[in-house]
Amino acid sequence: MKINVPLQAGFLPDQFTKHADASDKIDQHPVVSFPIEFQDVPENAASLALTLIDPDSIPVCGFAYIHWVAANLDSSLTELPTDASQSGKIPMTLGNNSLAGGLLHVTDEQLNRHYIGPTPPDQPHDYHLTVFALDQKLDLPDGFWLNQLEKKMTGHVLAQATTVLPVRN
């Protein structure tokens, strides 16, 4: 399986990051998700799941920041279009990002259960996008946590692909 996200000059395009226009932000958080192309998804896959995590945030905030978690995407997708997270045009089960955690207490589901764009505060960060092809749909409600996704995926991953998305400061 392969995934591709278009980059500009080696970085995730600004429209999906802290450099996005104000019209593409909610409470200063970029919320328009980037497009993802899927190739060579196993024919017997029943669903896709994805995670977008920033391990470079560990020295900044003490943990790997979760920017996007989603499950139960249709395995026949060849592309997840721009703004799929907020638009609702592509059905998916939305997990909590790090804004939903007990440290930040953001209760707006438009922010804490969708893509929240990269905002590296100190230097360019590398964001890890992983897409999983699964042999079943997962019994998860909207608002699930990353650890719940990982437990439900155990024994059901047919293939996975990871790409690193650099984001400028």
User: pLDDT of 22-48, one tens digit each?
Assistant: 999 999 999 999 999 999 999 999 999
Mean pLDDT of 107-122: 92
Count of structural domains, the chain: 1
> The domain containing residue 23 runs over which residues?
2-167
Residue-by-residue DSSP string for 89-145: -S--EEBP-GGGSTTT----HHHHTS------SSS-EEEEEEEEEESS-----TTB-
Q: Is the pLDDT of residue 13 over 90?
A: yes
Q: pTM of the prediction?
A: 0.96
- The CATH number covering residue 99 comes to 3.90.280.10
